[in-house]
Amino acid sequence: MTDPLLERIERYMARSPVSESSHLTAWARTLALGELVRVLRTDEPTDVGVQTLESQLRLAATITRDSGGDLEVAASHHDRLAADLTAVQPDADQYSPVRNAARAHRMAAAICRGDHSDLRRFASHPRHGTDYTAALRLPSTD
């Protein structure tokens, strides 16, 4: 039996050679993170936050890809977007679309800077039933 999520992640990661200094690797990992988030959707009212997180991760991946190849430039764009979004509704609850949009850009900035903690957390989420960490071809944590 095939795993469609695994196949999508592997397809993203196969598009270019994996390099921790490559904007294309950061782009692929941000797209993969969006796929991992999508699986966490339920039919709960809080899903609007998850949907926003997913869609903003797709936008964040595009920003990363189109940053001119400089990961710090991409991370700075994400930092500014996250700050601007947070300023719109500083008192928003954790499930609000604005809060989750800002979170997506903070997560994308972290990926650009080589912090893979969010990727690891979502890749091994218990709801998936499978650990997708290896498919993301992350550097070892040793």
Token pair belonging to 31: 């797209």
Burial of 19 (0-12, 13-18, 19+ CB in 10 A): exposed
- Please give the pLDDT value at position 58: 96
Query: What percent of the chain clears pLDDT 70, i.e. is strictly above it?
Result: 95
How far, in whole angstroms, is CA 38 from its chain's centroid? Answer: 11
Q: pTM for the whole thing?
A: 0.91
Tell whether the model's pLDDT for residue 56 goes beyond 90: yes
> How confident is the model at residue 38, as a pLDDT?
84
Tens digit of pLDDT for each residue in 118-139?
999 999 887 777 889 999 999 8
Comparing CA positions, the residue from 21, 12, 20, 34 lying closest to residue 105 is 34
Query: Quick one: average pLDDT of 26-35?
Result: 96
User: 62 with 31: CB under 8 angstroms?
Assistant: no
DSSP string for residues in 32-84: HHHHHHHTT--SSTTHHHHHHHHHHHHHHHHHHHTSTT-HHHHHHHHHHHHHH
Is residue 81 predicted with pLDDT exceeding 80? yes
- What gap in Å lies between CA 29 and CA 138, rounded to an integer? 9
**Residue 112: its pLDDT value, please?**
97
- In this structure, of 3-7, 37-41, 88-92, the range with the lowest mean pLDDT score is 37-41
> Is residue 13 within 8 Å of 32, Cβ to Cβ?
yes
pLDDT at 140: 84
Residue bearing tokens 């200094």: 21
Name the pLDDT band for 43 (thresholds 50, 70, 90): low
